[in-house]
Amino acid sequence: MKKIFIDGAAGTTGLRIYERIGERGDLALLTLPEDLRKDPGARRRALNECDIAFLCLPDQAAVEAVAMVENPHVTVIDASTAHRTHPGFAYGFPELSAGQRERIQQSNRISVPGCHAAGFIALVAPLVQKGVLSPDAGLFCHSLTGYSGGGKSMIAQYEAGREDPLLQAPRQYGLTQQHKHLKEMRYMTGLSHEPIFCPIVSDFYSGMEVTVPLFARDIRGTIEDIRAIYRDLYHTPVVHYTEAADEQGFLSAAGYSGKDSMQITVAGNAERILLIARYDNLGKGASGAALQCMNLKLNMDETKGLQL
């Protein structure tokens, strides 16, 4: 039975991974007593005794944890931002290509995509690869997320502040255009420039809707060409293309809350196009993606244990 250790199991992503692995009878969880959870020696031993080490840590702590791993048979799956553009880490979004899935399966170092970045990359990378979008394209990305994406502190803020009028309306952030997901959004799409990125958090627990608008005059091809690319690429239980995904003219950002799958769709018209990805910021945007990568690495059905 494969042994799993979660370094940082007290955080939002770590807790969800812990709970879901605990429900499986084919994996063994290595755990540390509470008083040793942050002890370097105990962590080092656990990181080298397991088969899969999930890192659910702040960036610097994740870098330090990777340096502790001396056992060449340990696979590290890092949910932090630290290694998402590191050439020694496979980017954990297997649906991008057959080569991406193979790289994840063969690598002992895997980075879990950022929640906002996952949708943007799923929408943009195939279009750059197919020549529909120029690498020099100047893009805009709008992303609406549930408050659980902010971790324990933001969850506590929203759940304790129901009467605060500022929390009852959507709040835009990342106003300086320095959001930590921007580097991977450029790196994994092949774009020459980072997009203008407008993330917005709102008063619902989980779910995410990422939108990239395009003028047809700025692409090589048509809206139907884009639909065809997505239709051919995204047809798995985890990531799938859907025609006319709206709910009577609306698209709820909570539509995929609780799921580990991602829906890709295209709206708009022949002149103005909307590329849209819907998923759960805690699912395909975090713990679900991490578990999918683990399944691939262990040569299991990649959907095992996922909520689809």
pTM above 0.85, yes or no: yes
Q: How far is CA 295 from CA 3, 80, 177, 251, 292, in A?
A: 13, 19, 35, 31, 5
CB 233 within 8 A of CB 264: no
From CA 303, how far away is CA 102, in angstroms rounded? 16
Give the pLDDT band (50/70/90) at residue 14: confident
Q: Determine the pLDDT at residue 37.
A: 84
Give the pLDDT band (50/70/90) at residue 34: confident
Q: Determine the pLDDT at residue 217.
A: 96
Sequence-distant (6+) residues with CB within 8 A of 160 are none
pLDDT in tens, 278-297: 999 999 999 999 999 999 99
Q: Determine the pLDDT at residue 212.
A: 98
Mean pLDDT of the chain: 95
Of the chain, the percentage scoring pLDDT greater than 70 comes to 100
Statement: 115-281 belongs to CATH 3.30.360.10: yes
The arithmetic mean of pLDDT across residues 201-230, rounded, is: 96
Q: Determine the pLDDT at residue 153.
A: 85
115 is catalytic: yes
The arithmetic mean of pLDDT across residues 115-135, rounded, is: 98
User: Which of 50, 115, 141, 293 is the catalytic position?
Assistant: 115
Residues of the chain within CATH 3.30.360.10 domain(s) are 115-281
E strand or H helix that includes residue 90: strand 90-91
Give me the CATH topology for the region 2-113+286-297: Rossmann fold (3.40.50)
Sequence-distant (6+) residues with CB within 8 A of 74 are 47, 48, 50, 51, 52, 53, 108
276 beta partners: 211, 265
Residues of the chain within CATH 3.40.50.720 domain(s) are 2-113+286-297
pLDDT at 161 > cutoff 80: no
Q: Determine the pLDDT at residue 150.
A: 86
From CA 47, how far away is CA 55, in angstroms rounded? 10
| Structure token pair of residue 277 | 């990805």
Q: Determine the pLDDT at residue 231.
A: 97
Tokens 């979004």 label which residue? 93
From CA 305, how far away is CA 194, in angstroms rounded? 34
Lowest mean pLDDT among 76-90, 100-114, 144-158, 249-263: 144-158
pLDDT in tens, 52-107: 999 999 999 999 999 999 999 999 999 999 999 999 999 999 999 989 999 999 99
Q: Determine the pLDDT at residue 36.
A: 86
